[in-house]
Amino acid sequence: MEKVTNLAAMFEDSTIVTVQLDNTDENFHVQKALLCNVSKYFVRALTGEFIESKSNTLRLPGCKKATFSLFLYWLCHRSLPENLTTELESEAEIPEGSDKWWTPSYNQQQLISLWGFGDIYLMPSLQNEAMRMLVKNVSTFRIGVEAVKLAAELWVEDSPQRNFVMEGVAGEYSDWGLHDHGIDYLGAIPGVMKDMLTILRIAWTGEEALVQQPNPDISRLLVDETTQRP
């Protein structure tokens, strides 16, 4: 009951926090209790001796409006909208005459960015929800070059999350030659060709097959949710 009591006590505080993002003059206004309930980072920033706790203003450098909007949706629903896995940002993005699968989804970039947001601000459950959605998305759409670039920047070499993305791209290359993916674009992303060649070598020598499972075990891609709870 202590956890219930502590949570209820948070909501006795009606303070509204002004959230300032990068690259926009728009501010968001979120109840302090909601933010503190999902992240130790927000607890420390908004209840400690930091300037944020005195001004009730939270600055999130590097966070764009699209990422924070998805975070707010998750904050209210504890899930992400299913159309992140089944749609492009809009159907208009599909070039006329193109097969839907061959068009990369902009939502891949959004989900990878959201995972990074959860990592920075200590929200493992948000990271895991973003990863579940990403796995579903890439079963519908091929992995876009921009998503690969973002994955290479965010995830360290040999991390399960990075390997998942690189395995998907390598599998497309193995099956289809990447077509409009453009091997030259991928080659310009530091570390990507090395990752792809390593994965393809393993597959071509029979050590491991590049086969997409209909219901893959994604446990290796998830982070521990028990260590960072407020």
By CB neighbour count within 10 A (0-12 exposed, 13-18 middle, 19+ buried), where does 126 fall?
A: buried
C-alpha R_g of the chain: 20
44 pLDDT exceeds 80?
Answer: yes
Position 95 confidence tier, pLDDT thresholds 50, 70, 90? very low
57 pLDDT exceeds 60?
Answer: yes
Give the pLDDT score at 5.
77
Position 97 confidence tier, pLDDT thresholds 50, 70, 90? very low
Residue 213 is classified by DSSP as -
Count Cα neighbours of 170 within 13 Å in the Cβ-side half-sphere: 23
Beta-carbon contacts of 228 under 8 Å, excluding residues fewer than 6 positions away, are: 39, 40, 122, 123, 124
Position 229 confidence tier, pLDDT thresholds 50, 70, 90? low
Q: What percent of the chain has pLDDT over 90?
A: 51
Mean pLDDT for the stretch of residues 113-122: 98
Hey, which of 19-33, 100-114, 171-185 has the most confident mean pLDDT?
Answer: 19-33
Mean pLDDT for the stretch of residues 51-79: 96
Among left, alpha and beta (phi > 0; psi -120 to 50; other), residue 177 is left
Q: Which of 167, 119, 162, 114 is nearest to 139 (CA)?
A: 167
Give the pLDDT score at 226.
86
- Name which residue leads in pLDDT, 223 or 200: 223
Mean pLDDT for the stretch of residues 163-190: 73
